[in-house]
């Protein structure tokens, strides 16, 4: 009803600036006072494909992101050692800190935060973080 919709935008206290509905999810991770630049990054979705998918399409998978099993985040970190990297992965957020860079990345899909793997490739000056995607009630990816 319109009354319920109006009530959700009413401030609960006179000192509140915004209602809870107006505050974006995950904004408590943002650190606006940190002057370090954001490194270049790329997100690649990965899908396990077998011959039954390639030639016959028997598994029911399609090229959409909902049929992907993992997400690979490639982050360019020039002149960075592995000991300098601080990485924290949450279900919907990746937080990376180095002495020269800072990356707060809201992830496009929820991930299993405790199963994340990261590897620093010094010759490419790149950190690769592999994250397994969470697909609740997904029969296609449970195989």
Residue 113 has a pLDDT of 92
Question: Smallest Cα–Cα separation from 103: which of 46, 45, 34, 27?
Answer: 34
- Does residue 7 sit within a domain? no
What mean pLDDT do residues 15-37 have? 70
Alpha helices, H only, 19-78? 51
84 backbone dihedrals φ, ψ, rounded to 5°:
-85, -10
Range of the domain at 45: 33-132
Q: At 63, is the pLDDT very low, low, confident or very high (cuts 50, 70, 90)? A: low
Residue 12 pLDDT greater than 90, yes or no: no
Question: Smallest Cα–Cα separation from 99: which of 113, 86, 114, 112?
Answer: 86
Residue 29 has a pLDDT of 56
- Does residue 3 sit within a domain? no
Q: What is the CATH number of the domain that holds 106?
A: 2.60.40.790
- Does residue 1 sit within a domain? no
Query: What tokens appear for 67 in the block?
Result: 């049929």
Residue 16 has a pLDDT of 77
- Does residue 27 sit within a domain? no
More confident residue, 14 or 34: 34
Query: What tokens appear for 43 in the block?
Result: 């997100």
Residue 106 pLDDT greater than 90, yes or no: yes
- Does residue 46 sit within a domain? yes
- Does residue 81 sit within a domain? yes
What is the percent of the chain with per-residue pLDDT over 70, rounded to a whole number? 66
pLDDT per residue as tens digits for the range 67-102: 778 999 999 999 999 999 999 999 999 999 999 999
Residue 47 has a pLDDT of 81
Q: What is the rounded distance in angstroms from the CA atom of residue 76 to the CA atom of residue 86?
A: 15
Q: Domain count for the chain, please give it.
A: 1
- Does residue 18 sit within a domain? no
- Does residue 141 sit within a domain? no
């Amino acid at each position: 009803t319109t009354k319920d919709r109006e009530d959700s935008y009413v401030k609960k206290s006179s000192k509140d600036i915004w209602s809870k509905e107006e505050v974006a999810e995950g904004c408590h991770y943002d650190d606006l006072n940190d002057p370090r630049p954001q490194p270049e990054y790329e997100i690649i979705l990965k899908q396990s494909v077998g011959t039954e998918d390639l030639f016959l399409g028997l598994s029911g998978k399609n090229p959409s992101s909902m049929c992907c099993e993992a997400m690979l985040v490639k982050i360019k970190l020039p002149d960075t050692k592995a000991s300098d990297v601080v990485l924290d992965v949450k279900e919907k957020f990746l937080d990376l800190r180095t002495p020269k860079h800072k990356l707060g990345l809201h992830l496009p899909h929820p991930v299993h935060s405790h199963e994340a793997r990261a590897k620093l490739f010094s010759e490419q000056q790149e950190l690769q973080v592999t994250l397994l995607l969470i697909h609740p009630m997904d029969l296609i990816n449970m195989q």
